[in-house]
Amino acid sequence: MTPLTIVRGSPRHRAIVAAIGAVVLVVLIVIPNVLPSFRLFQVTLAAGFAIAIIGLALITTSAGQISLAQSTFFAIGAYTTAVLVADHGWTPILTFPVGAVFAFMVGLLLGLPALRLKGLYLALVTMAFAIITVPLIKRFDGLTGGNMGKLVSTPDPPSWSGMSPEVWTYAVAVTVATVMFWLANNIVKSGVGRSLSAIRHSELVAETMGVNVAVLKSLAFATSAAFAAVGGGLFTMTVEFVAADSFGLLISIEFLAALVVGGAVAIPGAIAGSLFIEFLPAWASEVNDALAGVLFGSILILVMIFLPDGVTGFIKRQLSRFVVVRHPVVLPPTGDRIGDQGPVDGRVEVEAVLE
Amino acid sequence: MTAALEIDDVHLSFGGVKALTGPSFEVAEGEICGLIGPNGAGKTTLFNCITRIYEPDSGSVRYRGRELLGQRRHLIPSLGIARTFQNLGLLSDLSTLDNVLLGATHRSRANLLTSALRTPGMRKEERQMLCEADEILARLGLGDVRDTIVSDVPFGTQKRIELARALMIKPRLLLLDEPANGLTHSEVDDLATVLREVRDEHDLTILLVEHHMGMVMSMCEHVVVLDLGAKIADGKPADVSRDPAVVTAYLGSEAA
């Protein structure tokens, strides 16, 4: 059977994207109405993690750079929100851009080694960042609350929303995650995303093709840091408490694991992976508390054996037997080379959810 | 005719191995120049010096009178110089179209922020690039594999995709490293035809490293022969092929 070809931006493609969007929207609206409050809390947490993992996907899945510093930037966002909300009375949402900008700048600074290092060396240096993060948080306990942690009571939801605090937090988390998803997806699908892929393939080829590898790598690193900070800010808003030990190296490793499980399709993979790392350990400890680690580890191994390119890689391969989404052929205005189709305005504007 | 490319006494050694021992020659504007020589002669090494992958120990490489040594590697495409790689430098898990679009990187004004926000200017640029890429793909007969992942495409076609990507740079000087390697006879003939046409259409200067002598002799107006890092002959194809030094380099000398 020949697969059905869908041209990106065609009416059919728009309809499919709209239909998928509608289904997702309905699911997102139904979730707070049917899930018990602890499950809702977990979904909200997963949205925060997903943003940090999406950021990681930009440099790891796209550009092939392994970073273990994502926990550092997650902490920067979490504490920016904690301090601004608890000590200065800010509204949580307004603190996210502050944390993002702060983490972006720190990311640029720490990313300087990324100019020179790659592979395991970069992983090692970023691991060092992750390791010193927790002691640093404890050292500045006047600001951060250190070991004891810091309570962050968030203000009540605005009365016009008519939502309970937890549903409001959920709504904010999902909205912010959607915006970040859109931004990251745009990057991955753009020429900049292509340049990132070129870096993953070969820095030499990338440079020969005109990619300023050093600059793009450090900017991408800083951007992924900003994403992690937004995720961290949401974490604080959701948990309403931050403590140093929540931001250890393990978080970074979990983010990487989520990416691998999520798989080869950068952005949807990040979301699948975040649900995996949020729900699977919890589910495993409900099944049997003593065996939780074994269960989690075993499933991780099984996924790697049977889905080597992750959940989304698997889905993409299966789907590609039936549906192929491709760029439209955009011909010059004269259109005299192949056929008579004129220029097709706006055809590339809609993102392919399927791809 | 003015020289598009001047190679002037370029020396390069790797440890004790002298890869280039001072070859000098000029490639005139608009000509197809063959760069030939036995394996290990230093042809690809010289390519790598021109495209700033290797740093020569001494000498000068000038493009339209401008010194290339000292230029940063990623700026070479914006000077109008494009190259292909001997062992293919394609992104194997991306589509043909994406690979070709990569060639437009140096002309793109999009950055991380405008890409993330999909600004109107950035979308317009994307459409423009897509349009150019489709023209080049059609020109090289690659329309059928446009949306195919490169690793699923036959080797000969991959070579053409790399050529398409180099053309997407919109070069004035095109450096081709063994484009006919691994192609069938008819593919080689097609390639020679396309290269000549493309040269005429885009006012290109082409420097061609190739082992396929038939192709070199038929399509080059000028041939430079390297052996052991030095130039041993330089002239019209017919003269070069009769040059005793060239014959010796290729076939060995008597009693050797």
Hey, what domains does chain B have and what are their CATH numbers?
1-80+171-256 (3.40.50.300), 92-168 (no CATH)
Query: Residue B42: which residues within 8 A CB-CB, separation 6 or more?
Result: B19, B20, B23, B226, B228, B229
Task: Search chain B and give the residue with CA nearest A351.
Answer: B118
* Contact residues on chain A for B106, CB-CB shorter than 8 A: 209-210
Q: Which residue has the higher pLDDT, A297 or B124?
A: B124
Say yes or no for a CB contact (<8 Å) between A338 and B92: no
Instruction: Give B79→chain A minimum CA distance, Å.
Output: 10
Q: Which residue has the higher pLDDT, A300 or A226?
A: A226
For all residues of chain B together, what is the average pLDDT?
A: 91
pLDDT category, A345, cuts 50, 70, 90? Answer: very low
Express each pLDDT in A211-258 by its tens digit: 999 999 999 999 999 999 999 999 999 999 999 999 999 999 999 999
pLDDT at A78 over 90: yes
**CATH dotted code for A4-326:** 1.10.3470
DSSP 8-state code for residue A246: G
When CB atoms are compared, the residue of B103, B110, B127 closest to A348 is B127
For all residues of chain A together, what is the average pLDDT?
A: 87
DSSP for A105-138 reads: HHHHHHTHHHHH--HHHHHHHHHHHHHHHHHHHH
B89 in contact with A, Cβ within 8 Å? yes
Lowest mean pLDDT of A145-154, A229-238, B47-56, name the range.
A145-154
In chain A, which ranges are E strands? Answer: 4-7, 150-151, 241-242, 323-326
| Cα gap A202→B101, rounded to integer Å | 16
Q: Around B237, how many Cα atoms within 13 Å sit in the side-chain half-sphere?
A: 15
* Contact residues on chain A for B148, CB-CB shorter than 8 A: none
Q: How many CB atoms lie within 10 A of CB A88?
A: 8
Helix/strand/coil for A161: helix
A220 in contact with B, Cβ within 8 Å? yes
Mean pLDDT of B48-68: 94
| Cα gap A1→A9, rounded to integer Å | 24
B118 in contact with A, Cβ within 8 Å? yes
Which residues face B224 on adjacent strands? B35, B234
Task: Search chain A and give the residue with CA nearest B111.
Answer: A192
B176 in contact with A, Cβ within 8 Å? no
| ipTM of the complex model | 0.91
Instruction: Give B39→chain A minimum CA distance, Å.
Output: 23
A184 in contact with B, Cβ within 8 Å? yes
A178 in contact with B, Cβ within 8 Å? no
Mean pLDDT of A106-129: 85
Query: Residue A286: which residues within 8 A CB-CB, separation 6 or more?
Result: none
Question: Nearest 5 degrees, angle CA A133-CA A135-CA A141?
Answer: 105
pLDDT at A350 over 50: no
Q: For strands B58-63 and B66-67, give the pairing.
A: antiparallel
pLDDT category, B226, cuts 50, 70, 90? Answer: very high
B81 in contact with A, Cβ within 8 Å? no
B151 in contact with A, Cβ within 8 Å? no
Instruction: Give B36→chain A minimum CA distance, Å.
Output: 23
Mean pLDDT of B223-227: 93
Long-range contacts of B48-53 (CB under 8 A, 24+ apart): B49/B10, B49/B12, B49/B20, B50/B5, B50/B7, B50/B81, B50/B83, B50/B175, B50/B207, B51/A208, B51/B76, B51/B81, B51/B83, B51/B175, B52/B76, B53/A204, B53/A208
Question: CB–CB of B166/B106 below 8 Å?
Answer: no
* Contact residues on chain B for A204, CB-CB shorter than 8 A: 53, 89
Q: How many CB atoms lie within 10 A of CB B203?
A: 9
B102 in contact with A, Cβ within 8 Å? yes
Domain segments of chain A: what residues?
4-326
- φ/ψ of residue B206, rounded to 5: -120, 130
Instruction: Give B249→chain A minimum CA distance, Å.
Output: 32
pLDDT at A349 over 50: no
When CB atoms are compared, the residue of B117, B129, B134 closest to A329 is B134
Q: Please name the helix (run of DSSP H) or strand (run of DSSP E) that holds residue A1, with its range, or none.
A: none
DSSP 8-state code for residue A5: E
Mean pLDDT of B188-217: 91
Say yes or no for a CB contact (<8 Å) between B131 and A332: yes
Say yes or no for a CB contact (<8 Å) between A209 and B126: no
pLDDT category, A339, cuts 50, 70, 90? Answer: very low
* Contact residues on chain B for A195, CB-CB shorter than 8 A: 102, 105
Say yes or no for a CB contact (<8 Å) between A194 and B98: yes
Q: Please name the helix (run of DSSP H) or strand (run of DSSP E) that holds residue A291, with its range, or none.
A: none
Q: Please name the helix (run of DSSP H) or strand (run of DSSP E) that holds residue A9, with its range, or none.
A: none
Q: For strands A150-151 and A241-242, give the pairing.
A: antiparallel
**pLDDT value of position B248:** 85
Q: Please name the helix (run of DSSP H) or strand (run of DSSP E) that holds residue A16, with its range, or none.
A: helix A11-34
Q: How many helices (H) and strands (E) does chain A have?
A: 15, 4
Say yes or no for a CB contact (<8 Å) between B105 and A345: no
Q: Which residue has the tokens 């699977």?
A: A280
Q: Which residue has the higher pLDDT, B213 or A187?
A: A187
pLDDT category, B106, cuts 50, 70, 90? Answer: very high
Look at chain B and count its residues: 256
Spacing of C-alpha B107 from chain mean position: 19
pLDDT category, B117, cuts 50, 70, 90? Answer: very high
When CB atoms are compared, the residue of B74, B91, B110 closest to A201 is B91
Instruction: Give A261→chain B minimum CA distance, Å.
Output: 19
Token digits of residue B228: 């052991």
**pLDDT value of position A200:** 93
Say yes or no for a CB contact (<8 Å) between B165 and A349: no
Q: What secondary structure, in 3-state letters, does chain B show?
A: CCEEEEEEEEEEEECCEEEEECCCEEEECCCEEEEECCCCCCHHHHHHHHCCCCCCCEEEEEECCEECCCCCHHHCHHHCEEECCCCCCCCCCCEHHHHHHHCCHHHCCCCHHHHHHCCHHHHHHHHHHHHHHHHHHHHCCCHHHCCCEHHHCCHHHHHHHHHHHHHHCCCCEEEEECCCCCCCHHHHHHHHHHHHHHHHHHCCEEEEECCCHHHHHHHCCEEEEEECCEEEEEECHHHHHHCHHHHHHHHCCCCC
| Cα gap B119→B129, rounded to integer Å | 15
**pLDDT value of position A1:** 60
- State the Rg of chain B over Cα: 19
B201 in contact with A, Cβ within 8 Å? no
Question: CB–CB of A63/A57 below 8 Å?
Answer: no
pLDDT at A354 over 70: no
When CB atoms are compared, the residue of A208, A326, A332 closest to B83 is A208
Which residues face B227 on adjacent strands? B230
Question: CB–CB of B19/B45 below 8 Å?
Answer: yes
Query: Which of A59, A192, A209, A309 is the best mutation test for B, with the most CBs of B within 10 A?
Result: A209
Question: Nearest 5 degrees, angle CA A151-CA A275-CA A239?
Answer: 5
* Contact residues on chain B for A329, CB-CB shorter than 8 A: 134, 146
Q: How many CB atoms lie within 10 A of CB A213?
A: 19
**pLDDT value of position A346:** 38
Largest CA distance in chain B: 71
Say yes or no for a CB contact (<8 Å) between B131 and A208: no
Task: Search chain B and give the residue with CA nearest A5.
Answer: B147
